[in-house]
Amino acid sequence: MKNITDSFLCFVYWPSAGSFGFDTDILATNLINLSVVLGVLIFFGKGVLSDLLDNRKQRILRTIRNSEELREAAIEQLETARARLRKVETEADRFRVNGYSEIERDKLNLINSIYTTLEQFENYKNETIHFEQQRAINQVQQRVLQQALQGALGTLNSCLNNELHLRTISANIGMFGAMKEKKN
Protein backbone atom coordinates (compact mmCIF):
# COMPACT_ATOMS: atom_id res chain seq x y z
CA MET A 1 0.00 0.00 0.00
CA LYS A 2 2.76 2.31 0.97
CA ASN A 3 4.57 1.32 -2.17
CA ILE A 4 1.59 2.13 -4.35
CA THR A 5 1.08 5.62 -2.96
CA ASP A 6 4.78 6.09 -3.15
CA SER A 7 4.93 5.22 -6.81
CA PHE A 8 1.80 7.27 -7.51
CA LEU A 9 3.23 10.36 -5.92
CA CYS A 10 6.53 9.81 -7.60
CA PHE A 11 4.81 9.32 -10.97
CA VAL A 12 3.04 12.65 -10.74
CA TYR A 13 6.21 14.47 -9.95
CA TRP A 14 7.92 15.76 -13.05
CA PRO A 15 11.44 17.08 -13.07
CA SER A 16 11.32 20.84 -13.44
CA ALA A 17 14.66 21.14 -15.17
CA GLY A 18 16.16 18.83 -17.73
CA SER A 19 15.03 18.30 -21.30
CA PHE A 20 12.05 18.93 -23.56
CA GLY A 21 8.90 17.04 -22.80
CA PHE A 22 5.16 17.18 -22.38
CA ASP A 23 3.44 18.35 -19.25
CA THR A 24 0.54 15.99 -18.71
CA ASP A 25 -0.87 17.79 -15.70
CA ILE A 26 -4.23 19.08 -16.88
CA LEU A 27 -4.65 21.58 -14.07
CA ALA A 28 -1.17 23.07 -14.28
CA THR A 29 -1.37 23.52 -18.03
CA ASN A 30 -4.74 25.23 -17.64
CA LEU A 31 -6.21 23.08 -20.43
CA ILE A 32 -9.80 23.13 -19.20
CA ASN A 33 -9.99 26.87 -18.87
CA LEU A 34 -8.33 27.34 -22.24
CA SER A 35 -10.75 25.02 -23.94
CA VAL A 36 -13.70 26.76 -22.29
CA VAL A 37 -12.40 30.15 -23.37
CA LEU A 38 -11.74 28.87 -26.86
CA GLY A 39 -15.17 27.28 -27.05
CA VAL A 40 -16.97 30.41 -25.90
CA LEU A 41 -14.89 32.51 -28.24
CA ILE A 42 -15.69 30.29 -31.20
CA PHE A 43 -19.37 29.98 -30.22
CA PHE A 44 -19.97 33.72 -29.97
CA GLY A 45 -17.26 34.97 -32.25
CA LYS A 46 -18.43 32.78 -35.09
CA GLY A 47 -21.85 34.40 -35.24
CA VAL A 48 -20.49 37.92 -35.06
CA LEU A 49 -17.74 37.24 -37.53
CA SER A 50 -19.96 35.43 -40.01
CA ASP A 51 -22.47 38.28 -39.80
CA LEU A 52 -19.72 40.78 -40.44
CA LEU A 53 -18.26 38.80 -43.32
CA ASP A 54 -21.70 38.13 -44.79
CA ASN A 55 -22.45 41.83 -44.74
CA ARG A 56 -19.15 42.55 -46.39
CA LYS A 57 -19.76 39.89 -49.01
CA GLN A 58 -23.24 41.23 -49.70
CA ARG A 59 -21.82 44.71 -50.04
CA ILE A 60 -19.18 43.50 -52.47
CA LEU A 61 -21.79 41.58 -54.43
CA ARG A 62 -24.03 44.62 -54.53
CA THR A 63 -21.18 46.80 -55.66
CA ILE A 64 -20.19 44.33 -58.33
CA ARG A 65 -23.77 44.01 -59.52
CA ASN A 66 -24.20 47.78 -59.56
CA SER A 67 -21.03 48.31 -61.50
CA GLU A 68 -22.04 45.50 -63.82
CA GLU A 69 -25.35 47.22 -64.45
CA LEU A 70 -23.64 50.54 -64.90
CA ARG A 71 -21.23 48.92 -67.30
CA GLU A 72 -24.03 47.38 -69.29
CA ALA A 73 -25.88 50.67 -69.39
CA ALA A 74 -22.71 52.41 -70.48
CA ILE A 75 -22.11 49.80 -73.17
CA GLU A 76 -25.68 50.22 -74.35
CA GLN A 77 -25.27 53.96 -74.46
CA LEU A 78 -22.03 53.53 -76.31
CA GLU A 79 -23.76 51.28 -78.83
CA THR A 80 -26.59 53.74 -79.41
CA ALA A 81 -24.13 56.58 -79.67
CA ARG A 82 -22.10 54.58 -82.17
CA ALA A 83 -25.21 53.80 -84.18
CA ARG A 84 -26.16 57.44 -84.20
CA LEU A 85 -22.67 58.41 -85.18
CA ARG A 86 -22.80 55.96 -88.05
CA LYS A 87 -26.17 57.28 -89.17
CA VAL A 88 -25.02 60.86 -88.93
CA GLU A 89 -21.86 60.03 -90.82
CA THR A 90 -23.76 58.44 -93.70
CA GLU A 91 -26.11 61.38 -93.70
CA ALA A 92 -23.21 63.74 -93.73
CA ASP A 93 -21.69 61.81 -96.61
CA ARG A 94 -24.93 62.02 -98.49
CA PHE A 95 -25.20 65.69 -97.78
CA ARG A 96 -21.66 66.22 -98.86
CA VAL A 97 -22.22 64.42 -102.17
CA ASN A 98 -25.52 66.21 -102.66
CA GLY A 99 -23.94 69.48 -101.79
CA TYR A 100 -21.12 68.98 -104.21
CA SER A 101 -23.46 68.14 -107.05
CA GLU A 102 -25.72 71.03 -106.11
CA ILE A 103 -22.80 73.41 -105.99
CA GLU A 104 -21.65 72.13 -109.34
CA ARG A 105 -25.10 72.64 -110.79
CA ASP A 106 -25.38 76.06 -109.21
CA LYS A 107 -22.07 76.98 -110.69
CA LEU A 108 -23.14 75.87 -114.13
CA ASN A 109 -26.41 77.73 -113.77
CA LEU A 110 -24.64 80.83 -112.65
CA ILE A 111 -22.17 80.63 -115.49
CA ASN A 112 -25.01 80.17 -117.96
CA SER A 113 -27.03 83.04 -116.57
CA ILE A 114 -24.01 85.27 -116.51
CA TYR A 115 -23.26 84.26 -120.07
CA THR A 116 -26.77 85.18 -121.19
CA THR A 117 -26.56 88.43 -119.25
CA LEU A 118 -23.28 89.10 -120.92
CA GLU A 119 -24.80 88.48 -124.31
CA GLN A 120 -27.65 90.81 -123.47
CA PHE A 121 -25.23 93.45 -122.45
CA GLU A 122 -23.38 92.91 -125.70
CA ASN A 123 -26.64 93.42 -127.57
CA TYR A 124 -27.47 96.51 -125.57
CA LYS A 125 -24.04 97.85 -126.29
CA ASN A 126 -24.43 97.27 -129.97
CA GLU A 127 -27.89 98.79 -130.00
CA THR A 128 -26.69 101.79 -128.03
CA ILE A 129 -23.85 102.32 -130.43
CA HIS A 130 -26.24 102.04 -133.33
CA PHE A 131 -28.64 104.46 -131.71
CA GLU A 132 -25.90 106.91 -130.95
CA GLN A 133 -24.74 106.73 -134.50
CA GLN A 134 -28.28 107.35 -135.73
CA ARG A 135 -28.69 110.29 -133.42
CA ALA A 136 -25.43 111.80 -134.52
CA ILE A 137 -26.47 111.41 -138.13
CA ASN A 138 -29.83 113.02 -137.40
CA GLN A 139 -28.20 115.91 -135.63
CA VAL A 140 -25.79 116.44 -138.48
CA GLN A 141 -28.71 116.31 -140.97
CA GLN A 142 -30.71 118.83 -138.88
CA ARG A 143 -27.74 121.09 -138.64
CA VAL A 144 -27.15 120.94 -142.35
CA LEU A 145 -30.86 121.54 -143.09
CA GLN A 146 -31.00 124.47 -140.72
CA GLN A 147 -27.97 126.06 -142.28
CA ALA A 148 -29.42 125.46 -145.76
CA LEU A 149 -32.74 127.02 -144.74
CA GLN A 150 -31.01 129.98 -143.15
CA GLY A 151 -28.94 130.37 -146.28
CA ALA A 152 -32.12 130.20 -148.37
CA LEU A 153 -33.88 132.73 -146.11
CA GLY A 154 -30.90 135.04 -146.28
CA THR A 155 -30.81 134.71 -150.05
CA LEU A 156 -34.53 135.34 -150.16
CA ASN A 157 -34.33 138.43 -147.93
CA SER A 158 -31.46 139.88 -149.87
CA CYS A 159 -32.69 139.09 -153.35
CA LEU A 160 -36.45 139.74 -153.03
CA ASN A 161 -37.55 142.99 -154.75
CA ASN A 162 -41.07 144.23 -155.41
CA GLU A 163 -41.71 142.64 -158.77
CA LEU A 164 -40.32 139.35 -157.77
CA HIS A 165 -42.38 139.57 -154.58
CA LEU A 166 -45.57 140.11 -156.49
CA ARG A 167 -44.79 137.30 -158.88
CA THR A 168 -44.11 134.98 -156.09
CA ILE A 169 -47.30 135.89 -154.28
CA SER A 170 -49.38 135.51 -157.43
CA ALA A 171 -47.73 132.23 -158.16
CA ASN A 172 -48.47 131.12 -154.62
CA ILE A 173 -52.08 132.29 -154.89
CA GLY A 174 -52.42 130.38 -158.12
CA MET A 175 -50.94 127.37 -156.54
CA PHE A 176 -53.26 127.62 -153.50
CA GLY A 177 -56.18 128.16 -155.83
CA ALA A 178 -55.31 125.08 -157.79
CA MET A 179 -54.96 123.22 -154.55
CA LYS A 180 -58.39 124.45 -153.44
CA GLU A 181 -60.00 123.46 -156.73
CA LYS A 182 -58.39 120.12 -156.45
CA LYS A 183 -59.73 119.76 -152.92
CA ASN A 184 -63.22 120.68 -154.00
CB of 74 vs another protein, minimal distance in Å: 19
* Residues binding another protein (CB under 8 A): 2, 5-6, 9-10, 12-14, 16-23, 25, 27-34, 36-38, 40-41, 49-50, 52-53, 56-57, 60-61, 64
CB of 70 vs another protein, minimal distance in Å: 16
Looking at this protein, which amino acid is placed at residue 65?
Answer: R
Select 56 or 130, whichever has its Cβ closest to another protein: 56
Select 9 or 159, whichever has its Cβ closest to another protein: 9
Select 14 or 131, whichever has its Cβ closest to another protein: 14
Instruction: Say how far apart CA 166 and CA 181 lie, in whole Å.
Output: 22
Instruction: Say how far apart CA 176 and CA 182 lie, in whole Å.
Output: 10
C-alpha distance from residue 108 to each of 119, 122, 184 (Å): 16, 21, 72
Select 37 or 136, whichever has its Cβ closest to another protein: 37
Instruction: Say how far apart CA 24 and CA 48 lie, in whole Å.
Output: 35
CB of 88 vs another protein, minimal distance in Å: 38
Chain centroid to Cα 39, Å, comes to 75
CB of 66 vs another protein, minimal distance in Å: 14
Instruction: Say how far apart CA 122 and CA 127 lie, in whole Å.
Output: 9
* CB distance 48 to 55 below 8 Å: no
Select 49 or 173, whichever has its Cβ closest to another protein: 49
CB of 1 vs another protein, minimal distance in Å: 12
